[in-house]
Amino acid sequence: MNQAGVRDPAKCLFVDDSLSNVKSARRVGWIRSVHFREHGPITLQEPAVNHTPTDQEKRPVEEWIPIINSLQQLRNVWPDIFVQAKQ
């Protein structure tokens, strides 16, 4: 944040393939953090975060951690930061 000159952590966007890094980013206020898993399901060491939509629906929205397996899916996670190309 210092290097980018950003004071509001809510304005930070974070994508990482390490769930622990994503959780840490959320703890410091980077609420727009996404877990990137390129390949199929993995065994989670920490059961505190559930990755299935049905499990997440039971949690408060602010605890949801979006999971993507393609960077193109960021368009669905953060549609407000992408601009549609004019046809």
DSSP the chain: -TTTT---GGG-EEEES-HHHHHHHHHTT--EEEEE--SS----S-TTS--SHHHHHTS-GGG---EESSGGGHHHH-GGG-PPPP-
- The pLDDT, as a whole number, for residue 40 is 56
pLDDT in tens, 50-73: 344 445 455 554 568 898 988 889
The pTM for the full model equals: 0.69
